[in-house]
Each structure stands twice: as C-alpha cells, then as structure tokens.
Amino acid sequence: MMEVLVFGGTVEGRALVEWLYGRGCQVVACVATEYGASLLPQDDHVVCLRGPLSREEKLSLVREHDFCCIVDATHPYAQHITKSVATLGRESGIDVVRVVREGGDAEGPWERVADAAEAAALLAETHGNVLLTTGSTDLDVYLDVLPDAKDRLYVRILPVVSAVEHAERLGIPASHVIAMQGPFSTEMNEAVLRQFGIRHLVTKQSGTSGGFDEKVKAAEACDVHVIVIDRPCEQGGSSLEEVRFLLEERYGL
C-alpha cells in the first residue's frame, strides 16, 4: 500500500487526504489542531498527528514509514512550516510536492499591507469598529497599537479552546469574539458586518477556497473599508488539481 505524508489542515489538505484515502493510500496527516483533525476521514488508513512537530520528530516519522512523497498543503501564510517541510525533504531524500492556493494576486478596491503591524498602524488613523478575520496569532499586535482596541475590535477565530482562551487572556470581551469555522458565504459575512456595526475589515488574501471573494463582496455591499494583508511570495508549487494529476502520473495513484 502506497504511503503519503501530508502537512496541512487547510481546505486543500483535507481534500487531498480524502482523495488519497479514496485511492487506497495509507495517509499520515499532520495538522495544527484537534479541530482540524476532526474534519479528516476517521479510518485506520488515515493517521492524524496533531500539533507542531520538531525537526527530530519529523525525521523520526519519515524513518518509521516508507513514504513515496511528502505533500505540503499548509496555509499560504505559514511560510515557516513550508520551509521546514522543504528541509525535511532534502534531509530525508523524499520528494516534496507543494500545493499553492489559487487566487493570490487579485487586485481590488482595498488597501494592501505587508503584515499585521502595518494593518494596525493603518487602523490607528481611523475610527469605527474593526472585524479581524486573520486568526488569533497576531491579536496582541493590534492591542498594542490601538488604544481603544478592546472597544473597537471584533475577532473571528476558529472554534477551538486554545484560540478562544488566547483572546480571553488578552482581555478581548467575550461579546467581541466570534468563534466559527469558515469559509463563509457572502450573506453570512454581510450579517456579521451589519450585526456588529463594522466599518473596517482586515483579511488575508486567502484565495477562493479561503472565502476571500465572499468577504470583499460583503464589505462592498456594506460599505466597509477593507485592509488586505498580502500573501507572501512563493517560489514553485502547483494547484490542487495539478498536484492530483502529478501524483497520478508520478506514483500511479
């Protein structure tokens, strides 16, 4: 039975795991959270490892298995993980296939910034409620820069204990925490924007599968200012469909 190692609890990662499982492969999937693991097929042929793995743990994993390849389907903004997976491939001599999310170069009527710090600085010059849809990792950046952040900020984060507890530790009121799993429809985004009187939306360029189009359409309908954190540049990689074709051709899946 062919064995494949997949990194990523993203939409693309889940789709690939399900596709590989359907092709009769033994899949080891590495995801960040328990919630991500719960979305994968529950079967003896799908082994799910939760949480970050050290370099030594990754090397031990590939020594214990006979992987034909490693698939990096991690989030386009998780560059540190992509680098570590590429290093794993070089050190183990196993081919790495990178899935690149489509829709990363879109232009539109929004302001583009390089990172959370630049987004926070831009928001400091504005008034009105802000909806952050960029996860829980950089919440402290906005709290440090915006003096009225706890009044203005509404955060939409994954419905996992660690993310909610992190927001709570930072002092964000529970009434300002929206713990939901996306992606969301345009109508759902509009409802959230109107419910909380949002004037500014901060999002990553998460592409079609990440619900980016639905967010900016909703913002346009509600006359909401959009700030987009640019996606890091990626060298190489293929779309989900291209990766499926490559795996079929190269490994006979």
pLDDT tens for the 253 residues of the chain, in order: 899 999 987 888 899 999 999 999 999 999 877 777 888 888 889 999 988 889 999 999 999 999 999 999 987 777 888 899 999 999 999 999 999 877 655 667 788 888 899 999 999 999 999 999 998 889 999 999 998 999 999 999 989 898 999 999 999 999 999 999 888 999 999 999 999 999 999 998 877 777 889 999 999 999 999 999 987 766 678 888 999 999 999 988 8
Closest CA to 154 of 112, 183, 195: 195
Provide the pLDDT for residue 12: 87
Closest CA to 145 of 174, 113, 175: 113
3-state SS assignment for residue 203? strand
Domain 111-229 in CATH 3.40.50.620? The answer is: yes
The C-alpha angle 181, 185, 188, rounded to 5 degrees, equals 80
3-100+234-251: CATH number: 3.40.50.720
Tokens of 168: 């709570």
Provide the pLDDT for residue 39: 80
Provide the pLDDT for residue 66: 95
Give domain limits for the chain.
3-100+234-251, 111-229
Q: What is the pTM of this model?
A: 0.70
Identical fold at 3-100+234-251 and 111-229?
yes
